[in-house]
Amino acid sequence: MIASVCPNPCLDVYYYTTVLMEDDTNRVENPYLSPGGKGLNAARVISRLGISPHLITTIGGCTGECVMRGLERESVPFEYVKIKGETRVNTILEQKGKKSHVLIACRGPILDEREVKELEERICSHSPDFLILGGSVPPGLPNDFYAKIIKYFKNRGCSVLVDADGELLRKAISASPFAIKPNRHELERLVGRPLFDFNDIVEACREVVNSGVQIVITSLGRYGAVAVTEEKVIRVVPPDVKVINTVGAGDSVVGGFIYALDKGETLAEAVAFAVSCGTATVMMEGPKLCKPDDVYDVYERVAIFYLE
C-alpha cells in the first residue's frame, strides 16, 4: 500500500497569456483549475498509473471544495481533516514564447491544535509500505512535523520519502528517512552552497546519504535525475521532448518512483520510470500531469548510466 500526505494542498489556478503588461489590465482566457500540492500531485500520478494510493490531506472553505471535486473526478482515494481556514490558492502565470513561468504560492491557512492532532492521528492510523510526505506545511505545524512522522513509521517497517524544502527538509533528514527528492535548488539550500556541475551535485547527495538518508534522488530538469546511495550513483537521461510546461514535473518524479518501487522494480528501473513520468508531464499543456501512454513511450527511450 502507498499513502501520501499533503498537509498544505492548494487549488492551482493557471493563466496563459501572450503578453504581460505592467500597470495595465491583462485579459486572459478562462483559467485552468487543478488540485495541487506535492503530496497530492504524487498521489494523482500514482492513481492514473493504475495503483490506488491513499491520500491524507486538509480541506477548508470553498477552495477546498474545488480541490475535493478535482480529486473525485480523478477517482483518487483520499481522507481529510476539515479545517476552519480556507485551502490556499497558487497562481501560475505563463507567457507565450517564454520557457519559464511565474508561481505565486500562498503560505496556507493556520491550523489550530485540534486540526493538527487530527491530522497526526489520521496519518498514523495507516500501515503503508511506502509513505510520501510532500510539500510545505501550513502555519500551525512545526518544522519537525515530518521528522515526527518519519520516526513513527520507521519503527513499523515503512519506507518514507520526503519531498520538501528548507528547514522542514533539514529536520526530516535528522530522522533518517528512506529517501528524499530535492531538485537542484533545494539541494543547494540544503547543503548551503552553490552546485556548479554534475560532480558537485553528486558530492552533495553523498553528504546527505552520509547523514543517514538511504537514497537521494535529485531531479535535474531536462537533464533527468541522479540517484545516490552508499554504494551506487545512477544517472537517468530522458530523450529530447518539446517542453510545454514544467508545473508538477517534480511531483510526477516522486509518484513514478514510489509506484515503480511498489511494483518491485530495481532502483535503476524506478529512477528511469520516475524520470519518464516527469518528462511526460512537461509535454502536457497547463498544470496537467503525465498520461500513462506517454510515460511508457518515454521509458522505452531513457538512458541509464551506472557511475562510480
Nearest to 141 by CA among 102, 85, 91, 186: 85
Contact between residue 160 and residue 33 where contact means Cβ atoms under 8 Å apart: no
Enumerate the active-site residues. Answer: 251
